[in-house]
Amino acid sequence: AQSVTQPDIHITVSEGASLELRCNYSYGATPYLFWYVQSPGQGLQLLLKYFSGDTLVQGIKGFEAEFKRSQSSFNLRKPSVHWSDAAEYFCAVGENDYKLSFGAGTTVTVRA
């Protein structure tokens, strides 16, 4: 069975600073990879996804992620965070079994 690891439970970053959230997965082939964001009490919003091709993918809200097969990683980045980026971020994997497997999530706090 596949697994998704988000090593950082909580990250605090200053407004305007860069942000990188880590995600590692274990799966034999290249899975479908996703990043979702969840604001308190809300559902999940898709930030970006990777299926194949260019390993650097652009998403909404200025986020990007890079797929590195050799490291089984799919890290999310944003060059300059805004206070509105404070939320919980989930990495997810789909592997052709009609479901998504999620990491435990990383909570991002943005300080002024």
Partner 1 sequence: KAGVTQTPRYLIKTRGQQVTLSCSPISGHRSVSWYQQTPGQGLQFLFEYFSETQRNKGNFPGRFSGRQFSNSRSEMNVSTLELGDSALYLCASSQDRVDTEAFFGQGTRLTVV
- Per-residue burial over 67-95, b = 16 or more CB atoms within 10 Å of its CB, e = otherwise: beeeeebbbbebeebeeebbbbbbbbbbb
Segment near partner 1 (CB under 8 A); pick from 15-23, 66-74, 76-84, 100-108:
100-108
Tell me, residue by residue from 54 to 93, as one string, x for binding to partner 1 by CB under 8 A and - for no binding: ------------------------------------x---
Q: How many residues belong to the site for partner 1 (CB under 8 A)?
A: 24
Q: Does 27 bind partner 1 (CB under 8 A)?
A: no
Q: Does 100 bind partner 1 (CB under 8 A)?
A: yes
Of the CA atoms within 13 Å of residue 85, those in its CB half-sphere come to 28
97: left (phi over 0), alpha (psi -120 to 50) or beta: alpha
**Residue of the chain from 26, 51, 55, 84 that contacts partner 1 (CB under 8 A):** 51
62: DSSP letter? G
The binding site for partner 1 (CB under 8 A) comprises 32, 34, 36, 41-46, 49, 51, 90, 94-105
